[in-house]
A and B are shown apart, each in its own frame.
Chain A
Amino acid sequence: AQTVTQSQPEMSVQEAETVTLSCTYDTSESDYYLFWYKQPPSRQMILVIRQEAYKQQNATENRFSVNFQKAAKSFSLKISDSQLGDAAMYFCAYRRYETSGSRLTFGEGTQLTVNP
């Protein structure tokens, strides 16, 4: 079974600075997808960024980027120029490539605090 581990329960960053959230996963598959979701205090889950394992290029979405290291099974999220609105719980998630059972496996989350 696939597992996703987020080793940082809490992180903090000063406004306008950069922070990196860690995620590792365990899988025997070669094709899969990885996601970062954000859950602000409203508890609405919002997709931040996604990565297809067959793509070597790291995904970027504005101030958010990932460092995808397939061999190391690592998928970290970098938030640049942090803003107060980035404060949230961040979840890393894994999904297999196959069509059947397209379910997500989530990590336990990292609570990010942004200090003004």
Chain B
Amino acid sequence: DGGITQSPKYLFRKEGQNVTLSCEQNLNHDAMYWYRQDPGQGLRLIYYSQIVNDFQKGDIAEGYSVSREKKESFPLTVTSAQKNPTAFYLCASRKGLAGVYEQYFGPGTRLTVT
């Protein structure tokens, strides 16, 4: 089955540690996205990538980093510089760069930093 996988579903880390969230898609989609969701809020864009080896900052990129070495993979690193990293993180992908294609979402990773 084609889709987007995010692992793990729940992740726990100590404050001051970097942590990398995995996102893999086998849909052959060009664009990939990372969102953060906090309680009672909508999704906020962290980073996105339209092609391999290229990515752009979203609205809340500070304290995060990404890479896009392969078309199917777009890992997100939450660094110790992120002041409030506890949140639900969603990865998405989209076919093509134009047109009415929607974004497909992964199941998400709940990150808790204590």
CB contacts (< 8 Å) of A107 on chain B: these are: 42
B30 — nearest CB in chain A belongs to which residue? A102
A61 CB to nearest B CB, Å: 12
Complex Cα distance, B101 from A52, in Å, reads 11
- Cβ contact within 8 Å between A102 and B102: no
Given contacts A91-B42, A108-B41, A109-B42, contact A103 B98 (CB under 8 A): no
CB contacts (< 8 Å) of B48 on chain A: these are: 101, 103
B4 CB to nearest A CB, Å: 10
CB contacts (< 8 Å) of B90 on chain A: these are: 45
A11 located at the interface, meaning its Cβ lies under 8 Å from any Cβ of chain B in the complex: no
B15-31 vs A, CB cutoff 8 Å, 1 = contact: the mask equals: 00000000000000001
Complex Cα distance, B47 from A111, in Å, reads 26
- Cβ contact within 8 Å between B98 and A102: yes
Complex Cα distance, B41 from A46, in Å, reads 17
CB contacts (< 8 Å) of B52 on chain A: these are: none
Tell me if B's interface is mostly helix, strand, loop or mixed: strand
Report, as a range, how many residues of chain B touch the other chain: 20 to 34
**Additional 7 contacts, C-beta under 8 A, given A100-B50, A103-B33, A104-B45:** A44-B107, A45-B43, A45-B92, A50-B100, A99-B98, A100-B97, A104-B103
Q: List 17 A-B contacts (CB under 8 A).
A: A42-B107, A44-B105, A44-B107, A45-B90, A46-B105, A52-B100, A99-B97, A100-B97, A101-B48, A102-B94, A102-B98, A103-B45, A103-B48, A107-B42, A108-B40, A108-B41, A109-B42
- Measured CB to CB, the residues of B under 8 A from A are 31, 33, 40-45, 48, 50, 56, 58, 88, 90, 92, 94, 97-98, 100, 102-103, 105, 107-108
